[in-house]
Structure 1
Amino acid sequence: MGPSSSSADLSAEMEVDAFRRLFPLQFYERHLLESIRPDGRTHQQARDTTLALGAVASADGSALAKIGCTTMLAAIKMEVMTPTTDLPDEGNLTIEFHMPPICSPIVRPGKPADIAAVISKELSDTILSSGMINLKELSLVSGKTAWMAYLDIYCLDADGALFDAALLSAVAAFSHLQIPVVSVNDEGKVFIVSEEDKAGKPGNEPVNIDKRKLVLSNIPYSLTCLLHKNYILADPTAEEESIMETSLTVVLNSSRQLVSLYKPGGPVLAYTSALQDCVAMTMQRVKELQKILNEAISDMEVV
């Protein structure tokens, strides 16, 4: 290939890039007509997804989730609390979603991203309403002490479908969670037993001899879809989200039951078949995510 050919190829690439920047919607529509997206995926194809459990050694449970370039780090810290009088036999959990400036050029230093608070609430609503965690499992002494699970999720790279990746990291972190050993002192106060105490230093007998895991059921999984004209795009990138305004996030549990629907904006759905198609695509995605989570758990057990 001679210099003239290389120059022509470079010129063509520059023209394509310029067209993409100046007319992004038209650029995507040309690809959609060919049933392909600019990154090579089909309309219904999600990006490669990976999970790593135990990403934060100092946490009681943690996970790193990646969907394409979108990356989430979730970590859980357990603390002893006094349960409410209304629910004396239940613990509680609180979820915070963070978007530091490093995750995206649109997040400015010194000001929390508006979307962070929205995702925090959606995650809390989803996890609590799904029934994944039985809060009675977090009770220690009825009416006196229980566990508070603090889940923090940090977005390290925001390249679209943030809720999907955040929910996956949360589920994986709870799957990895090991509830600490606790003991009761002479005054009846419950406290966490350190490794040194377990190793033989003086102290009260622990209530539970070993760390234990939570029993999770009805685990929620989600898939965000973009709707544009007659097209439905699964697992959108940040670029796709920026140019197509109608999105729909479907949350199903591990039994393929509907947990919730999130539609943050855009016009009203023009046809119900679009919703049905999104649910069907989510069902397929649930199978994929279940397999990925089970493999991550197996890898952790081997280690």
Structure 2
Amino acid sequence: MGLPDSSQDLSTEMEVDAFRRIFPLRFFERHLSESLRPDARPLGKARDTIVNPGLVSTADGSALAKIGSTTMLAAIRMEVMTPSTDSPDEGCIALEFHMPPICSPTVRPGRPADAAPVISKRLSDTILSSGMVDLKELCLVSGKAAWMGYLDIYCLNADGALFDAALLSAVAAFSNLEIPVVALNDNGRIVAISGGKDEDNASIIEKKAVNKEKRKLTLKNIPFSLTCILHKNYILADPTTEEESIMDTLVTVVLDASDQMVSLYKSGGTVLAYSSAVKSCVELARKRAKELKQILGEMDID
């Protein structure tokens, strides 16, 4: 009885890998014709998703989100500011998205990634337009003091669908956020209260507290997103970097927890995405939103 020819198996594997590198689109289309992708996913299925809250001890709220290999770490730091005269009863949120060289070989040291400011702007627009955070809830003393939330999102591994993973990490970080304890000092200024339990702190908290204990934000209209690739008659949900690099048209659908459309982004492609394909993307996004709500359910997100 003969043994399997391992050298022949290796040769075949090398030939497949070479074909994939030289003719990537043809390689993918052979899989698509069988309604599968090279990673064995059905066309409309997203990758496995993990969310871990509270990983940054120095932040007021943080979370790590991982979709497939794409990994994002979000951290929120709260500071007291003087509100603007136009919005004296509202706080602010400032967001920045970072792509360090470690996240992808295409990001060069010393040069900012082209995608970073685009994703940063889209994330900021999505979070504010969705109404997830009520900025009035960040007010401390009308016209005098309010919270400024600095949200930094770091891409640790960029393997496609960066916006989806970044938004998920931001939502999870806001869910994990605890507003610090602050009080009025003798000069009438808002000051943070340390974590200690000495008598001075206790006295300030008891007599002049603005909020006596750490508190959570009330999150509403939480946004969830799904990026899809449109290629010929195929729709691929949650693409990898390789898929994004060889197929032109990307559509990102953002829905809130009530399945209401928050926004729709399209990039690439020479023509507008046809309406039936967009409808299919929206349906896939609704299914994905249900999955993400279930994943975040342990964090008490409604």
TM-score interval for Structure 1 and Structure 2 normalised by the shorter chain: over 0.9
**Counterpart AA for 1:188:** G
* Secondary structure, aligned partner of 1:154: strand
**Contact 2:82–2:144 at 8 Å: present in 1 too?**
yes
**Contact 2:140–2:210 at 8 Å: present in 1 too?**
no
Asked if residue 7 in structure 1 is aligned to residue 7 in structure 2, the reply is yes
Whole-angstrom CA distance in 2 between matches of 1:15 and 1:158: 27
Asked if residue 147 in structure 1 is aligned to residue 150 in structure 2, the reply is no
Asked if residue 100 in structure 1 is aligned to residue 100 in structure 2, the reply is yes
Higher mean alpha-carbon deviation, 36-45 vs 2-11, is at 2-11
- Paired residue for 1:36? 36
Taking the TM superposition and a 5 Å limit, the aligned residue runs for 1:1-303 are: 5-196=5-196, 198-201=197-200, 204-205=204-205, 206-295=209-298, 297=299
Q: 1:188 offset after TM fit, Å?
A: 1.3
Query: How many residues are matched?
Result: 297
Q: 1:264 offset after TM fit, Å?
A: 2.3
Q: 1:191 offset after TM fit, Å?
A: 1.1
Whole-angstrom CA distance in 1 between matches of 2:22 and 2:78: 50
**Counterpart AA for 1:19:** F
Q: 1:186 offset after TM fit, Å?
A: 1.8
Alpha-carbon RMSD? 1.4
What percent of counterpart residues are identical? 69
Whole-angstrom CA distance in 1 between matches of 2:237 and 2:263: 17
**Counterpart AA for 1:200:** E
Superimposed CA distance per residue, residues 158-207 of structure 1 (whole angstroms, 9 cap, x where no aligned partner): 000000000000000000000000010122110111112x4433552332
* Secondary structure, aligned partner of 1:140: strand
**Counterpart AA for 1:244:** M
Whole-angstrom CA distance in 1 between matches of 2:268 and 2:245: 12
Whole-angstrom CA distance in 2 between matches of 1:96 and 1:200: 39
**Contact 2:73–2:156 at 8 Å: present in 1 too?**
yes
Whole-angstrom CA distance in 1 between matches of 2:214 and 2:204: 16
- Paired residue for 1:301? none
Q: 1:3 offset after TM fit, Å?
A: 6.3
Any runs of at least 4 consecutive aligned residues in structure 1 with deviations exceeding 4 A, and if so which?
A: 1-4
Whole-angstrom CA distance in 2 between matches of 1:4 and 1:291: 46
Whole-angstrom CA distance in 2 between matches of 1:94 and 1:3: 63
Whole-angstrom CA distance in 1 between matches of 2:186 and 2:198: 20
* Secondary structure, aligned partner of 1:150: strand
Superimposed CA distance per residue, residues 182-238 of structure 1 (whole angstroms, 9 cap, x where no aligned partner): 010122110111112x44335523321210000000000000000000000000000
Q: 1:267 offset after TM fit, Å?
A: 2.1
Q: Cα gap change, 1:137/1:270 in structure 2, threshold over 3 Å: closer, same or farther?
A: closer
Structure 2 unaligned residues grouped into runs of 5+: none
**Counterpart AA for 1:91:** G
Q: 1:117 offset after TM fit, Å?
A: 0.4
Whole-angstrom CA distance in 1 between matches of 2:210 and 2:128: 27
Superimposed CA distance per residue, residues 121-146 of structure 1 (whole angstroms, 9 cap, x where no aligned partner): 00000000001010000000000000
Whole-angstrom CA distance in 2 between matches of 1:127 and 1:249: 15
Structure 1 unaligned residues grouped into runs of 5+: 299-303
* Secondary structure, aligned partner of 1:195: coil
Whole-angstrom CA distance in 1 between matches of 2:271 and 2:232: 12
* Secondary structure, aligned partner of 1:127: helix
